[in-house]
Every structure is written in C-alpha cells, then in structure tokens.
Amino acid sequence: MESSQAVYEALKSAGIDFVVSLPCVNLGKIMEMVDCDSDIIHVPVTREEEGFGICAGAFMGGKNPAILMQNSGLGNSVNVLASLFKLYNFPILMIMSHRGTVGEFMSAQVPMGKATPRVLDALEIAYFHPKIPEEALKIIPEAWILAKTASAPLGILLDINFW
C-alpha cells in the first residue's frame, strides 16, 4: 500500500474532518488529498503553533481536528501544547513527518529529529511510530479514539523510511 494513501484513508476512517497543515516534502500528497476532500475543512497555516490554536477552536465548534506537520513544527508549538492543550485537555491528532531519522540526507534535520521524542516525552504526549503503511492504517484511527477518550494530544511519528 502507498504510504500517503494509507495515512489519508486512516484519517478518513478515524473521522477526522478538520485539518491544518504546513508542508513537508513527505506530506505533499496527503495535503493534496485532504484539500480535494469536500468533507474535510483544510486550513493551511503560517506556523504550527497557530495551527494548534485553530484546532482547539475547531474542536470546541464540534470538529475532529488533526495537524499535518514536520517534526520541526513541534519545537514551534511547545507552549501552545502545554498551556492550551494540556491545560484545558484538548484532543488533537498530530501527524508528524519525522525528519532527521535513519536515511536523512540533510544534517540540519538531525538535531530536532533527535530531540523530537524527548520533547514529546517532556510534554507527556503519547505517540505511536508505525513503520509501514498497513500499520499506519490500523494505528491512526485507534490513536484518535485514544486522544478523544483521554482528551489529550496524540502523536504519530512517520520516519523517513516510512515514505
């Protein structure tokens, strides 16, 4: 199964109907699929932090929100995750292209790539790490149920070798 198709189908079966995004080379195809889907409101944003704020508002308006972003965006969003999402118990599905992992060709991606799991741990945000498209297809809908039940953000880390 193709990786982008798997993530898109997983978002659909999870019932995600509101997506904010910032591009990553690995997320391009999913962004196009989401954008073409009239059942999903897609909001491209200027910075991931802003995207999280928009998703909190959308959740209060009755939507099931997800963010598509590169793991670098996690660094831009630490405060909003702690002092909005954790403080008020907002759920969100965080689909992260995890750069700086095995197979990375840009050294600049490595420091944030290494820090990513530890930043998530520091924020006490649970995350899954599907290795192949079939696994993502199964885990992502389960992850959203978990996020909603726990009223908490939940991460999906997709390594370079996933794509």
Partner 1 sequence: MERIEAIKRIAEQLNDELVICNIGFPSRELYHVKDSPTHFYMLGSMGMASSIGLGLTLAQERKVVVLDGDGSVLMNMGSLVTIYNQSPENLILVVLDNECYGSTGSQCSYAKTVDLLELAKSVGFKETFLLKSDVDYKNFKNVLETKGPVFVHVKVDPGNADVPIIDLEPEKIKSRFMGEVKRID
CA-wise closest residue to 99 among 150, 24, 155: 24
CB of 89 to partner 1, least distance (A): 6
CB of 24 to partner 1, least distance (A): 18
CB of 65 to partner 1, least distance (A): 8
C-beta closer to partner 1: residue 151 or 161: 151
What lies within 8 Å, CB to CB, of 149 at 6+ separation is none
C-beta closer to partner 1: residue 84 or 139: 84
What lies within 8 Å, CB to CB, of 14 at 6+ separation is 64, 66, 93, 140, 141, 143, 144, 145
C-beta closer to partner 1: residue 40 or 140: 40
CB of 141 to partner 1, least distance (A): 21
Q: Which residues bind partner 1 (CB under 8 A)?
A: 18, 41, 43-47, 49-63, 65, 79-80, 82-84, 87-90
C-beta closer to partner 1: residue 53 or 75: 53
- φ/ψ of 65, rounded to 5, equals -95, 150
- φ/ψ of 154, rounded to 5, equals -140, 135
Q: With contact defined as beta carbons under 8 Å apart, do 98 and 157 qualify?
A: yes
